Amino acid sequence: MKTNSFLKLLLLVGVLLLIPLIGMQVSDEVNWSEFNFLVAAVLLLVFGSVVLLVVNKIKTKKTRTLFVVGILFLLFLIWAELAVGVFGTPFAGS
């Protein structure tokens, strides 16, 4: 993985985490703790790193696209489970 790509990933994660931070300033509806920011940062960095790895290692466009879509789908499933407990697993605190 290239250092430049990872730095861009870090910047993107920082920008994405600014969204709830700004939301907390303008509304009482958004209520994230430091732990929420930590979990979100770890999830985004891990999944982003895996996507970068797939993009750099897999050469065929079709296979690369399938892997990236699958990785993003998994990220959204985990995010939804942590956010609202879609599946009711202990993972989400149910």
């250092």: which residue's tokens? 3
Give the separation between CA 47 and CA 53, rounded to whole angstroms: 10
Give residue 76's pLDDT band: very low, low, confident or very high (50, 70, 90).
very high
- Give the pLDDT mean for 13-35: 95
Please tell me the total count of domains within the chain.
Answer: 1
Residues spanned by the domain of 70: 3-92
Give the separation between CA 12 and CA 18, rounded to whole angstroms: 10
* Mean pLDDT computed over every residue of the chain: 92
